[in-house]
Amino acid sequence: MDLRRSFPEPFDADADEARPGYRLMDSHTGSIQFESLDSKDLGEQLAFVESWFAKANDSPGWVAVATDASVRPEHTWQAVSAARIWYGGAFRRKARRAAGRVTAPDAELYAIRLGVGLALAAPNVKNIVLFTDHLPSAEAAFDPSPHSGQEHSLDVCKNVREWLRGDPERSITFVKVLSSLEWDFHHRVHCYASDPSLKVAIGRRPHTTIGWLRKHHTSACIDEWTRLFATPEYTGRHFLKLTDKSKVAQPSYLAGGTWCSVFDEPVEFSWFCCGVLDHAPTGDFRRRFKFPGPYDCRCENGGNQTRDHIIHRCPRYQREIDDIVLDLTTVPGLAEFCRKNPSVFSFGDSPSGD
């Protein structure tokens, strides 16, 4: 992909809103709040959001806003951002826009911009409570530095600053609402954003964020990595394919990666790698590369000391932890085997012991 043709998102590296000491989060910290409830209990979550809604509904000068976005996976249609505002006991206005070729956090950020815009346009607003299912996008709305969706953040910062200046009692609170709750007030804007009647084609030159480009290229790298991983020319013919949920464990960069993530100690990981690559000083390895013998295992079973013999049959190694037999076909299982047998795949464990 040619980045010059697909990178129309503007950035401002020297935005007024980003000047040190002038940033909204520095000058109006107490007026901007982010609220969430750390509980998996849906009943508690419902009570939490309803208490915030009741506060906004019952207090003069307060408005409640719900924002959400819909990112369609087909790469055919643009994402949609939407917002609805409630005051005086009813929904008053709503806004919905095609967001371009963006990630879900970008589209949520745009929805928050729309929601803040609706709130600031309402009459005599003193306090805003904005419900979103993606609080990081609400925090990004007050980050004026260059980032994916910066233009939305700069717009929010500029308009909210002017509004807060008008009255020191004004405040804006962002409240996290779980999508799984399907809470009516927020679920309505979810349905509004995902309504199939609004479908805007991607087109030839869609608005594209840096976040989408990063995600697109990362996905392309992972696809290529997965394709290569299936070829023995890439992995090596002796690469030990371990499993994850009965399928071959695939390479991943997430959460530390497929293999690295289960290790804390570099030494354990190094011997694990030697085993997986079959580049350990085993008898079989020495025979293959014509190193001097001996090649047979020092255990009572004897025979060629192959990797398979070490992992599955050699009586010199432990394969149980607290009477639970390790699943040595998986990455965590083989990792535990390496921890339980610290000398495995090391020089000290080779047939010659050196």
260 lines the binding site for Zn ion (CB under 5 A): no
Interface with Zn ion in residues 100-119 (CB under 5 A): none
Nearest approach, Cβ of 327 to Zn ion (angstroms)?
21
Q: Which of residues 65-84 bind Zn ion (CB under 5 A)?
A: none
Our CB check for Zn ion shows the closer of 46 and 299 to be 299
Smallest gap, in angstroms, from Cβ of residue 296 to Zn ion?
8
**Which span sits near Zn ion by CB under 5 A: 74-82, 216-224, 289-297, 346-354?**
289-297
In the bound state with Zn ion, the residue whose beta carbon lies nearer, of 257 and 315, is 315
Residue 242 binding Zn ion, by CB under 5 A: no
297 binds Zn ion (CB under 5 A): yes
Distance CA 110, CA 97 (A): 9
CB of 353 to Zn ion, least distance (A): 13
**Residue whose CB is less far from Zn ion, 219 or 301:** 301
Q: Structure tokens of 288? A: 């293959």
Specify whether the CB–CB gap between 283 and 351 falls below 8 A.
yes
194 burial level (CB within 10 Å; 0-12, 13-18, 19+): middle
352 binds Zn ion (CB under 5 A): no
Considering only CA atoms, which of 303, 185, 339 is closest in space to residue 328? 339
Nearer to Zn ion, 33 or 343 (CB): 343
**Binding residues for Zn ion, total number by CB under 5 A:** 3
Residue of the chain from 24, 154, 160, 314 that contacts Zn ion (CB under 5 A) = 314
Q: Which of 146, 299, 304, 339 binds Zn ion (CB under 5 A)?
A: 299
Chain centre distance of CA 134: 12
- Which is nearer to Zn ion, 69 or 297 (by Cβ)? 297
Q: How far is the CB of 314 from Zn ion (least distance, A)?
A: 3
Binding region for Zn ion (CB under 5 A): 297, 299, 314
